[in-house]
Structure 1
């Protein structure tokens, strides 16, 4: 009996092949320097690292959170250029190693091009996922004209170094400014961080950032966004907060733990920033909620507690705190929108962003005057 050979799809379909080297004749630039804008790393100027929390903090950071802070979820590079070519050179902290999330989402960069105020996905970095360093092409276009470029950092891996390759005669300019210097700061779980998006641009905070022209800071910590008071104090130190979104119920372990942490987390933020809007979001529905009565009962108890907590605070005079029922975000087909029953697919993330978008825009409306929604 003849033994069949393993199928190599990349040998059958050229579009499935990883890029092995960047285009020649390019000038390599660091995005750490003007006119490039890097967002999503509040302590970058202080520490010089693509990291989501400070290297040294006056408050103790749980070891798991400290490690996950090196994942670059939510980081963005933005600029304008007339270069017809763009390549990227990346050195990662480690290789792709997740069984249920594509290497493009865990370790890749996404490229979006802006035209007429809208962002259009163009490409992602396809590379040999066993490597920790890669050079890939992001675009090779026909015409030489100024375009807005936004690059999204990997969701579940650290980035030690990144350089951009552009044509030698290309113009590079600063991107259009945000509507405000205020930031939208999300604190939450693996779902907030972006697990398990197929590519970085599809994490729901990144989708939101393409429609709401403010800097988004993604502080989702996979399995470890648990509402510790130390994290509330660290988050409260981020300059120019425009809105806090608390989406950590799924990591709260139990209804009892959520009752312990949520009021204190809110109190600490309010002590530092009494007027900044806060949105508390309950978790999305899981596929197993339909079959696990205890899990579903905990979800309903947590949902009601969060709603009541916000209502009580509003009755006590805090009119800038809001509640959003996250169980409605995926609709009736919620069980079709995840990779593993919990973590959304790209469709799930798109539904989450579409549901949250108008609510967030209303909460931060005063920051968005004269800035209609974009795509």
Structure 2
């Protein structure tokens, strides 16, 4: 047995694709994406605060400690721009190091890069770095022969905060305004850890980011892991976001009891309707999990909440609200969805792809 085989296995020693790299091309020009022609999506208060945060730093409405902390996670954030640079790099300062046991550091704390040439950008690469660190730099792309103008999307980490990010491009490269969105209206997703992106292996595979690319629209991710529980104060904050075409309500999984769901869902919708009776509202039930197979009460609770959700939907429709919609995503994705999860609950990339695929068809019908 050789020395390598006797030691603790280190994949980076035997596979070059597993190596961590902080190399970036020299002679780059570094940009703060706050400035034009960069466009930042997903942070509604960034122009006033210049902070990568999903809620106001000092909201007018009281929010829980869990929601306040979760708002610093940058799920759904994007940097969009267009350039002829032959290389694309990034420097990042995080709020903390990766620390999740069932979610890849590339999803929790990493960025990923999509590149397009007029069509919808496709995945290029994601940051590979020392996950014990709070700062890193990474070269997404370096092809001296590619001087074409490229559409770029950089997706922010899903489960960590970002204190600073710099984009590195060739010093002589030109920057252009990003490709125009198909629709300047926004879609707001309010919900759970699944909404936030747990446990995608990289940010671009969170289902709200997949939909943002497919729809070419701004999707606001207000998923708060374990803490989005239908608080009416969050509805108040959502009401301050302008140009919203659709609000997707998907927080059922955070309501441990049916009583909590019953107490919050009608009031949450009513508060949203105080601002806009025409914005589309889409109600989603919780997706299937492996617990449904083994814990009878878990399945009973889900069925109770599903019945109640349908009752609320029908009640609003009967009162004349024709802009509220219900979609049983569970039927669309199938009862064996748990096979597309990391831990029986949180989707893998494939699970998120399935969710986005079925939701895309539903959303384009109603917006």
Secondary structure, in 3 states, of the residue corresponding to 2:6?
Answer: coil
Is there any run of 5+ residues in structure 2 with no aligned partner, and where?
none
Residues 275-304 of structure 1: CA deviation (Å, up to 9, x unaligned)? 100001011000110111100011111111
Secondary structure, in 3 states, of the residue corresponding to 1:53?
Answer: coil
Measured in 2, the distance between the counterparts of 1:329 and 1:200 equals 24
Equivalent residues in 2 for 1:155-166 (5 A)? Answer: 155-166=158-169
Match of 2:258 among 227, 252, 255: 255
RMSD: 1.3
1:329 is displaced (CA, Å) by 4.2
The answer to whether the 8 Å contact 1:104/1:124 transfers is: yes
Measured in 2, the distance between the counterparts of 1:316 and 1:237 equals 25
Distance 1:263 1:110, change over 3 A: same
Measured in 2, the distance between the counterparts of 1:329 and 1:195 equals 20
Measured in 2, the distance between the counterparts of 1:207 and 1:170 equals 28
Equivalent residues in 2 for 1:205-284 (5 A)? Answer: 205-284=208-287
1:20 is displaced (CA, Å) by 2.0
**Partner of residue 80, structure 1:** 82
Measured in 1, the distance between the counterparts of 2:116 and 2:310 equals 38
Measured in 1, the distance between the counterparts of 2:350 and 2:187 equals 23
Distance 1:329 1:126, change over 3 A: farther
The answer to whether the 8 Å contact 2:85/2:170 transfers is: yes
**Partner of residue 71, structure 1:** 73
**Partner of residue 178, structure 2:** 175
TM-score in terms of structure 2 length: 0.97
The answer to whether the 8 Å contact 1:263/1:309 transfers is: yes
1:324 is displaced (CA, Å) by 0.9
**Partner of residue 16, structure 1:** 18
Secondary structure, in 3 states, of the residue corresponding to 2:173?
Answer: coil
TM-score in terms of structure 1 length: 0.95
**Partner of residue 368, structure 1:** none
The answer to whether the 8 Å contact 2:117/2:149 transfers is: no
Secondary structure, in 3 states, of the residue corresponding to 1:33?
Answer: coil
**Partner of residue 131, structure 2:** 129
The answer to whether the 8 Å contact 1:20/1:127 transfers is: yes
Secondary structure, in 3 states, of the residue corresponding to 1:134?
Answer: strand
**Partner of residue 148, structure 1:** 151
The answer to whether the 8 Å contact 1:281/1:326 transfers is: yes
Residue range with higher mean Cα deviation, 93-102 or 10-19: 10-19
Secondary structure, in 3 states, of the residue corresponding to 1:264?
Answer: helix
**Partner of residue 363, structure 1:** 366
Measured in 2, the distance between the counterparts of 1:174 and 1:149 equals 10
Secondary structure, in 3 states, of the residue corresponding to 2:43?
Answer: coil
State the number of aligned residues.
364
Measured in 1, the distance between the counterparts of 2:331 and 2:128 equals 34
The answer to whether the 8 Å contact 2:84/2:147 transfers is: yes
Is there any run of 5+ residues in structure 1 with no aligned partner, and where?
365-375
1:273 is displaced (CA, Å) by 1.3
1:58 aligns with 2:60: yes
1:101 aligns with 2:111: no
**Partner of residue 30, structure 2:** 28
Residue range with higher mean Cα deviation, 21-30 or 3-12: 3-12
Measured in 2, the distance between the counterparts of 1:119 and 1:176 equals 10
Measured in 2, the distance between the counterparts of 1:328 and 1:194 equals 21
Secondary structure, in 3 states, of the residue corresponding to 1:79?
Answer: strand
Residue range with higher mean Cα deviation, 325-334 or 278-287: 325-334
Measured in 2, the distance between the counterparts of 1:361 and 1:6 equals 51
Residues 83-125 of structure 1: CA deviation (Å, up to 9, x unaligned)? 0001000000000000000000000001001134222100000
1:23 is displaced (CA, Å) by 1.6
Secondary structure, in 3 states, of the residue corresponding to 2:302?
Answer: helix
